[in-house]
Structure 1
Amino acid sequence: MENDNLILRPISGPGELALFSGLPYVLNEELADDLGEGRRRADWLWVALRGDRLLARAGWWGRAGADSPFLLDIFDVDDNGADPDRVDVAERLLRTAMAEVVPAGAAAPKYLRMVPPDWREDAAARSAVEDRMSALARTGARPFVERLRFQWSPGTPIAEPAGRLDFRPIRDTEEVLSLMTRVLDGTLDAHSRDDLTRMPAREAAVKHYEDELAPYLSPREWWRVAMLPGGEPVGFVTPGRNAYNPVIGYLAVLPEHRGHGYIDEILAEGTRVLAAQGVPRIRAATDLGNTPMANAFRRAGYTDFERSILMSWP
């Protein structure tokens, strides 16, 4: 599409990744691998150009080999010179690209963006975040949740077992689904709470398992059930590796056992499992509003290194 010298189009292929990477973002370094592994496609990576100047870009990510994307996780606006029409350009790019990328009749994938932990206090970072969110809002997107992203580094002390809990590997898929279903009672997680408005708890657990846990590249034997000495389950943790990092993917205490500090021991066990593999780091995340979980990560020596903002379309 060309209008007022503005060109809106997808990149032609790997040869234009340098063009697409002309705006800075941490995911730029992953683009070539993602494209090669089928997690991205050239027709999911769109640019807005005037001449050879990159004004904005939008990029979607999906499961390897999927026919449609799972997330809009790259959306940038060039603020050099503070062009007064930069938000208009970003909106036009997004509308044009979405019409081509999102299958007819399908729900638009959520938008996900990593931002500095102090983005509200840093004037430049705040302006960039607000420009992007403004363009997204004009297309109908609304804030969904802000999440804290944590990182554990090798050498950080791991609490010794307190002796209150025993741990064993999760037996099978049915056991993890049963536990995931039970912990949804009283959950503070925004994604889970949203799912529960549209489906039963068991269905929500299956959806989360299939979307997040099943694709892990690591052995399921790493996952742990926490038990009282008599064998009663208290909670569980799923340490693993996704396509990018070692992660604490799911960490939970069953409703009837909350409030006793078990979360610290369960997190320590999950951290211990991954640390034993000699990992270079461990990543984890929780909602900004999930104060108990965030505090557990901080007590365990995880640092808040980043935040993520999610927006969604009705």
Structure 2
Amino acid sequence: MRPLRGREELDLFTRLPYGLNAELADDLATGRRRPEWMWVALRGDRLVARAAWWSRPGGGAPLVLDILDIEDDVPEPGPDRLDIAERLLRTALAAMVGDGAQPPDYSRFVPPDWREDALPRRIVEDRMAVLERTGARLFVERLRLEWRPGTPVAGPGGRLAFRPPHDSGELVSLMTSAMDGTLDAHGRADLTRMSPREAALKHYEEELALYSSPRDWWRVATLPQGEPVGFVLPAHNGYNPIIAYIAVLPGHRGNGYIDGLLAEGTRVLAEQDVPRIRASTDLGNVPMANAFRRAGYVNFEREINMTWN
């Protein structure tokens, strides 16, 4: 059990299948991953388990464990499959995180109907079981959504006007207001540890401000007299065009403004002739999931998030 010795071992690492395999070479080239963050368990020259962490380009420490795989297609899986994966994960965490420190959260993309088919369900539950052995627990399951070219985009309805935020201060202030009553699991968890403004500033500084896409894509929605009712932040995360954040302010919820906001954000990105637009929302955030469905977004995957909190 060891980390990769260098990029030349990427072919070894990708012997186990997963959708992120196609991104690994570029991730290594851009600094989102490092060979020392990519661990393998070998039996002779056979790869039997692997784990890898991701960060933003140039990040000094891993932010998320997003690959944990075990041999799934062997004719007679041995009873020690999960034991090997657990040992690999514990060995890697001891080397990378150290005793007493909280490991980065876990994320895995899974089929939208993963519970309904025996093989995908076993693949997902095996990995969750390994993580649970090390003290992790399920934090949230999320819907991954996609808008595809040719899908109609609703035109401006006349109820709302749109403009870019005046500056980062205005946006953080609006984000702070939007934390009131949020249904987002990550936002609710942040509010148990910090004030709404601290949570909003953390989200802005650690994610939104780091996107290289134009900030003039961002939109604040206002009533005709100028009062803000919400905002939508179209962006590009280095992999895909995305709806990075969308929210209606507490005093204006329940009036259907979310549809206009989402249509505006989708329109901004569609005008860039993008091949797709991605978005995510918690499985339990039914109002937001319904808004994406009405806007023509399809649920192409889910995401499992686990944490050691």
Do they superpose with TM above 0.5? yes
Q: Gaps spanning 5+ residues in structure 2: where?
A: none
Tell me whether 1:282 sits opposite 2:277 in the alignment: yes
Tell me which of 126, 142, 155 is aligned to 2:150: 155
Q: Aligned residue for 1:97?
A: 92
Matched, 1:298 2:279: no
Counterpart in 1 of 2:18?
A: 25
Q: Which amino acid letter does the alignment assign opposite residue 89 of structure 1?
A: I
In the TM superposition, residue 294 of structure 1 has moved relative to its aligned partner by 0.3
Q: 1:272: which partner in 2? A: 267
Using the alignment, how far apart are the partners of 1:203 and 1:103 within structure 2? 27
Residue pairs, 1:164-179, within 5 angstroms: 164-179=159-174
1:41 is aligned to 2:34? yes
How far did 1:202 drift?
A: 0.4
CA RMSD in angstroms, aligned pairs only: 0.9
Identity of aligned residues (%): 68
2:207 to 190, 207, 212: 212
Q: Which amino acid aligns with 1:26?
A: G
Q: How far apart are the structure 2 equivalents of 1:106 and 1:222? A: 38
How far the C-alpha of 1:186 sits from its partner, in A, is: 0.3
3-state SS, counterpart of residue 242 of structure 2 = strand
- Residue 217 of structure 2 is matched in structure 1 by 222
Please give the residue correspondences for 1:230-245 in structure 2 after superposition, counting only pairs within 5 Å: 230-245=225-240
Which secondary structure does the structure 1 equivalent of 2:83 belong to? helix
2:200 counterpart of 1:201: no
CA shift, 1:107, in A, is: 2.0
Q: Amino acid of the residue matched to residue 35 of structure 2?
A: A
- Matching of residue 249 in structure 1 with residue 249 in structure 2: no
1:2-54 per-residue CA deviation (whole Å, 9 max, x = no partner) reads: xxxxxx10011111101100111111011011111111000000001101111
**Residue aligning to 2:308:** 313
Question: Of the candidates 122, 127, 134, which is equivalent to residue 139 of structure 1?
Answer: 134
Structure 1 match to 2:46: 53
Once the two structures are superposed, residues 93-115 of structure 1 have per-residue CA deviations (whole angstroms, 9 ceiling, x without a partner) of: 00000111225553210000000
The equivalent of 1:77 in structure 2 is 70
- Matches of 2:148 and 2:58 in 1, distance apart? 32
Counterpart amino acid of residue 28 in structure 1: N
- Number of aligned residue pairs: give it: 307
Cα deviation code 1:180-228 (max 9, x no counterpart)? 0000000000000000000000000011112221111211110000000
Structure 2 counterpart of 1:268, one-letter code = A
Retained in 2: the 8 A contact 1:69–1:102?
Answer: no
Distance 2:27 2:119 in 1: 29
TM-score, scaled to structure 2: 0.98
